[in-house]
Structure 1
Amino acid sequence: MDSLRQRLPAPRQAMLAKESRSSPSITAAFEPSRISELARDSLPWYKVASRRRLYALLFPGAIVSYMTSGYDGSMMNSLQTVSYWDDFFGNPRGSTLGLISAIIALGAMCSAPFAPWVADRFGRRWGITVGSCIMIAGAIIQCESTTFAMFVISRFILGFGLTFCTTASPSLVSELSHPKERVAVTAICNTCWFLGAIAAAWITYGTRVIPSTWSWRIPSLLQMLPSVIQLSVIWFLPESPRWLISNDRGEEAMAALKRYHGDGEETELVKLEYEEICAAIHQEKESGNTTWKSMVSTKGNRYRMFIVVCMGTFSQWSGNGLISYYLARILETIGINDSATKSLINGIINIWNFLIAITSALLVERIGRRPLFRISTIGMFVTFSAWTIASAVYAETAAHGAAMAVLVLIFLFQFFYCIAFSPLPVAYSVEILPYSVRAKGMATYVFTTKVAVFVNQYVNPIGLANIQWKYYIVYVVILAIESFIAYGWFVETKGRALEEIAVIFDGEEAEVIAVAKSEVEIAQVEDFDHKKV
């Protein structure tokens, strides 16, 4: 077992960290940096007016991007219980239903090459603005759909715009947030999926009784609400300091850092952040690590991309897609056919998911990433295996107890999923990526996620229709693989600033080490030249 731990990067890092606590010779490599110490000692955000204002703008301006995806999944789940929608589009089932759900993912995949270019060339705010405008157009067309083809095209447009927002938003959030709250705030991004899901579930629950096509047109139109909120707020936020510095606008970057991280003062933390960002971006430009090719040109970047791809894939291929988009069909396999009951369960489960996800997001920095990933993957594997067995028993016996067991296990499975794969895929991906490839890396994350979603959404209804509970065995195997990869490759990043995480992946090649070692001397410089880039 020790030999295996030595060969796998994540257990090896964990062992070194444990040894560092008892061995002074290697403790320095694992000590928190001066930035981390200053951030830890800072006042909580709710006691600082500038940070209260920052997060009051960041939430509606950037974080709500993820509401659109959640809204879509829950809406499509709920619309399957609305007779006017079902009849209007010819009672779609199997591959037809899969196409309606999956087409939004295809649209997101098609815009993946363009989204990082906009975010890097014009700034994070423009990426969010472009994406929001496209999604508003898509929602309006979706509401006005008169044919099956028009409805499908509208959902493609929604997906096309979604990638622009979900590429730029997490970058802006992580790059603007104060170091003390950065992880929690970034983790909250993906939990907003459930805010959208809750809204869609209960809106559709209410409109399903309207005796016309407005029973599905109203929820379809309201899918543009997160985008409208973003457009109304995003330009009240400053641009990312890292983007400003990389575009030779150091004075604006320092002004943003002073206003929101120093409460209007040029504090020691602000100076150190500024200098570290400058050093990291300068090193990345000098080394040429700013292209698509650079994402796989070094061992450290290949490792990063492996984790990013895993985050995108695991967040969709863990069995959660069945619940997000096809809960109504799953409930039918255990004898729950009443549309009101199915809609009610959908609404309740999304509230449950959000409460678990937001709690986990707020505890990420205290617990750590690695423990959450390990508990989550093992827990999902066990509960999904039990879910499969209970489904098989119901299929054979139609026992009420087996049906109730499936329902309980669905909620328990969602608990294990939400403690890690709701808050962490975005937060973990964005923090391990260096600035030079952060937008491209997040576009890769979105692309991978949407490929996984597309396959999931297209294949799931076919599998459920043809082999019913036996289809769950596929996910049991996938979850076993995920558990091993989480153990072997998901390293801990707890307690490190964005630029310092590079040390974990690049080792001695990460020149930010030199910056970290000289932080104390930088803090003592009386005449700090904040115009230097």
Structure 2
Amino acid sequence: MDALRQRLPAPRQDYLSRQARKHQGGSSAPGDSNGNSYAPSRMTQLAQKSPIWYKSAARRRLYFLLFPAAVVSYATSGYDGSMMNSLQTVPYWDDYFGNPRGASLGLMSAIMALGSICSTPVAPWVADRFGRRWGITVGSLVMIAGAIMQCESKNFAMFVVSRFILGFGLSFATTASPSLVSELSHPKDRVTVTAICNTCWFLGSIAAAWITYGTRTIPSTWSWRIPSLLQMLPSIIQLSTIWFLPESPRWLINHDRGDEAMAALTRYHGEGQETELVRLEFEEIKTAIDNEKRTGSTTWKSMVSTSGNRYRMFLVCCMGFFSQWSGNGLISYYLSRIMDTVGITDPATQSLVNGLLNIWNWALALTSAFFVERLGRRPLFRISTLGMLFVFTGWTVASALYSQTDAPAAAIAVMALIFIYEIFYCIAFSPLPVAYSVEVLPYSIRAKGMAAYVFATKCAIFVNQYVNPIGLQNIGWKYYIVYVAILAAESFVAYGWFLETKGKALEEIAVIFDGEQADVRVAGAKEEGGFIEETENVHTQV
């Protein structure tokens, strides 16, 4: 065990050492149930004492604008998955493109992910150089162009190219969007709001499922052109609202525009008053960014230049791959093909199940988002991965039984297990991949780190979407065994390697990964709320 510990990253070594001291009866600072001890900062304490968001006029306005301006980019991705799933049940689409199956169907679905992969080197540069709002704006404009071209597609090649353009724009929005959400949200609400961000994937998927269900009976190519054109709607919503929001305070401070940052924090976090919380938040952000600047300019190499950053990138890549390689890609894009394998072939029934499943998923994901901060990240990841492993194993067994017996009971079991599987997937991998990735990344590498998250996600999606229809066509239910093995590996990693970040301010999380180097010292405050000159250590002790 000692030899293994020497090879682990410093944060993981520290965690194991704390756990060992805990089991040996050693003393520790107050902490959570996962062995992470910490002393909440003055800023964190003040944030938790703030009124709930709906009792604050400023925060109500902030989230009213933030939701359509920055969050609905995830609806575009969800819309795409559900639309492509549903279009496979539309006869006019199927006939128009020559009944795509296997590799051709995989290419049509996967090419959007390839477009996102190609734009990931550029997307963080736009978000860092010109601001989060410009990143979202550029992405929205490109996606609108792609959706129009998709609607006007005359042949297979044009449809594929239009989807590449959609994916190219999506990376800009999904790189900048979670950063803006996390950096503008009030400290008390940050985790929940950022977790809700990823659940909006299901808003898009619900819309696409029911739009396509309604248009599938149109006796012309407009049965698929209308859903294709409406894929630009989330981008139009973003463009119409994004410039009513202020830029990220962290981006403003990093570009020597501290007055604008203080004005934004005062307006939305202090109800128009320069409160102690606002001043502490401003100083903590400024101190963290100044510390990061002293280390030199941030490059792609910076993301792996320290043990803390390497550990961060390990977690971020896990979020990207695990969120797509857990078997969910089969359901998101090829549910109709799965139902074909168990004898459910009626297009109307397949479309109806797709619509109901997406409503079910969104309800589960939204509920989970409100429990992230209460329960913590690690318990949710552990429950999710183990639950998916057991349910997916049962799904595989039921599919094997149907292939051998054609028993209706086995087909019903498969469909029931798909709905149960979604419970465990949505516990963690709907609300947390974006929220967890954003919070473990410090400001200096946040945009690049989120681009890496998008890159990992889209690589996983590309492989999934291209390989899944080939696997289902060639070996049927036996293809599910691949995901059983992947889920077993995910469960092992989630149990032992995911670190808890519960109860910590955004800047303070850096201490988990960087230790004493990441101390954030800000001007302290009197009990009465006034500033004093002495400093107070507010870093998280872990």
If the length of structure 2 is used for normalisation, what is the TM-score?
A: 0.93
> Any idea what the Cα deviations from partners look like across 1:277-313, whole Å, max 9, x if unmatched?
0000001010126211110000000000000000000
User: 1:32 maps to what in 2?
Assistant: 40
Among 291, 297, 316, the residue aligned to 1:283: 291
Alignment map for 1:86-101 (pairs within 5 Å): 86-101=94-109
Relative to 1, partners in 2 of residues 1:434 and 1:210: Cα closer, same or farther, differing over 3 Å?
same
| 1:30 partner SS | coil
Shift, 1:163, TM fit: 0.2
User: What pairs up with 1:132-143 in 2 under 5 angstroms?
Assistant: 132-143=140-151
Query: What secondary structure does 1:248 align onto?
Result: coil
Match of 2:15 among 5, 13, 22: 13
Q: Is 6-15 or 421-430 further displaced after alignment?
A: 6-15
Counterpart for residue 447 of structure 1 = 455
Alignment of 1:71 with 2:73, yes or no, is no
CA 1:33–1:296 in 2, change beyond 3 Å: closer, same or farther? same
> Deviation per CA, 1:157-198, whole angstroms, max 9, x where unpaired?
000000000000000000000001000000011100000000
Superimposed CA distance per residue, residues 114-168 of structure 1 (whole angstroms, 9 cap, x where no aligned partner) = 0000000000000000000000000000001111111000000000000000000
Partner of 2:91: 83
Q: For residues 527 and 15 of structure 1, do their structure 2 counterparts lie closer, same or farther at Cα, with a shift above 3 Å needed?
A: closer
Matches within 5 A, 1:384-403: 384-403=392-411
Could you say if the C-alpha distance between residues 230 and 320 of structure 1 is closer, same or farther in structure 2, counting changes exceeding 3 Å? same
Contact 2:524 2:532 in 1 (8 A): no
What SS is found at the alignment partner of 2:51? Answer: coil
Give the alignment partner of residue 226 of structure 2, picking from 218, 229, 243.
Answer: 218
> Which of 472, 487, 493 does residue 495 from structure 2 map onto?
487
2:276·2:525 contact (CA, 8 Å) conserved in 1?
no
Structure-to-structure mapping, 1:448-463, within 5 angstroms: 448-463=456-471
Please report how far the alpha carbon of residue 418 of structure 1 lies from its aligned counterpart in structure 2 after TM superposition. Answer: 0.7
- Cα contact 2:525–2:531 (8 A) shared by 1: no
Measure the CA separation in 1 of the matches of 2:405 and 2:297. 60
3-state SS of the aligned residue for 2:496? helix
Deviation at 1:402, TM superposition (A): 0.7
Q: In 2, Cα distance between the equivalents of 1:54 and 1:23?
A: 45
- How far has the Cα of 1:488 moved from its partner? 1.3
Tell me the SS of whatever aligns to 1:430. Answer: helix
Task: Tell me how far 1:32 sits from its aligned partner.
Answer: 1.3
Select 2:215's aligned residue among 201, 207, 222.
Answer: 207
Indicate whether 1:261 and 2:269 are aligned: yes
Runs of 4+ in 1 over 2 A off after TM superposition: 1-20, 22-29, 518-528
Q: Is 2:307 the partner of 1:305?
A: no
Q: Offset at 1:14?
A: 8.1
Greater fraction of residues in helix:
1
CA deviation after TM superposition for structure 1 residue 245, in Å: 0.2
Q: Distance in 2 between matches of 1:313 and 1:112?
A: 16
Contact 1:14–1:492, Cα closer than 8 Å, also in 2: no
Bigger mean CA deviation after superposition, 44-53 or 22-31: 22-31
Q: Deviations over 1:90-124 (max 9, x none)?
A: 00000000000000000000000000000000000
**Hey, what does 1:373 align to over in structure 2?**
381
Query: Does residue 119 of structure 1 match 2:127?
Result: yes
Tell me the equivalent position of 1:531. none
In the alignment, the residues of structure 1 paired with residue 524 and residue 95 of structure 2 have an alpha-carbon distance, to the nearest angstrom, of: 66
Gapped runs of 5+ residues in structure 1? 529-533
Moved more, 4-13 or 191-200: 4-13
Corresponding residue number in structure 2 for 1:271: 279
What is the Cα deviation at residue 36 of structure 1? Answer: 1.4
The residue that corresponds to 2:34 in the other structure is: none
Aligned residues: 525
Q: Which moved more, 1:35-44 or 1:175-184?
A: 35-44
Q: How does 1:511-530 map to 2 (within 5 A)?
A: 511-512=519-520, 514-515=521-522, 519-520=524-525, 524-525=530-531
Shift of 1:13: 3.2
Q: Which residue is equivalent to 1:319?
A: 327
Measure how far apart 1:508 and its partner are: 1.7
Instruction: Tell me the distance in 1 between the aligned counterparts of 2:168 and 2:147.
Output: 12
CA distance in 1, matches of 2:77, 2:158: 20
Alignment of 1:330-341 (within 5 A): 330-341=338-349
Match of 1:227 in 2: 235
Q: CA deviation at 1:24?
A: 5.5
Contact kept? 1:283, 1:511, Cα under 8 Å = no
Q: Which residue in 1 is equivalent to 2:540?
A: none
Q: Which residue of 1 aligns with 2:116?
A: 108
Tell me if structure 1 keeps the 8 A contact 2:323–2:429.
yes
The offset of 1:510, in angstroms, is 1.1
Contact in 1 for aligned 2:440/2:510 (Cα 8 Å): yes
Residues 175, 454 of structure 2: 8 Å contact kept: yes
The verdict on how the C-alpha distance between 1:357 and 1:5 changes in structure 2, with shifts beyond 3 A counting, is farther
Q: Are 1:432 and 2:440 matched, yes or no?
A: yes
Given that residues 81 and 343 in structure 1 are in contact (C-alpha distance below 8 angstroms), is that contact kept between their aligned partners in structure 2?
yes
Moved more, 9-18 or 213-222: 9-18
2:139 is the alignment partner of 1:131: yes
Partner of residue 539, structure 2: none
Pairing partner for 2:370 from 341, 362, 386: 362
Q: Distance in 2 between matches of 1:94 and 1:207?
A: 25
Are the aligned partners of 1:289 and 1:295 in contact in 2 as well (CA < 8 Å)?
Answer: no
Deviation sequence 1:411-434 (CA, Å, 0-9, x none) = 111110011000000000000000
Post-superposition shift, 1:230?
0.2
* Secondary structure in structure 2 of the residue aligned to 1:119: helix
CA drift of 1:450 comes to 0.3
Give the one of 135, 141, 152 matched to 1:144.
152
**Structure 2 CA distance for aligned equivalents of residues 343 and 411 of structure 1:** 15
Code of the aligned partner of 1:149: A
Q: Aligned in 2, Cα 1:491/1:6: closer, same or farther, shift over 3 Å?
A: farther
2:52 to 44, 64, 79: 44
Q: Report the 3-state secondary structure (helix = DSSP H, G, I; strand = E; otherwise coil) of the residue aligned with 1:335.
A: coil
1:499 match: secondary structure: coil
Distance 1:488 1:519 in 2: 37
Q: Show structure 2 runs of 5+ residues with no match.
A: 32-36, 535-542
User: Structure 1, residues 310-356: CA drift from partner, whole Å, max 9, x if none?
Assistant: 00000000000000000000000000000000000000000010000
TM superposition shift of 1:19: 3.9
Per the alignment, residue 411 of structure 1 pairs with: 419
* Per-residue deviation, 1:511: 2.8
% identical aligned pairs: 73
Q: Could you tell me how far apart the structure 1 residues matched to 2:418 and 2:75 are?
A: 22
Counterpart secondary structure, 1:323: helix
Q: Contact (CA 8 Å) 2:524, 2:531: kept in 1 or not? A: no
**Equivalent position of 1:342 in the other structure:** 350
Alignment check: 8 A CA contact 1:61 1:229 kept: yes
Where does 1:470-481 land on structure 2 (aligned, <5 Å)?
Answer: 470-481=478-489
Contact 1:103 1:152 in 2 (8 A): yes
Is this contact kept in 2: 1:11–1:487, CA < 8 A?
A: no
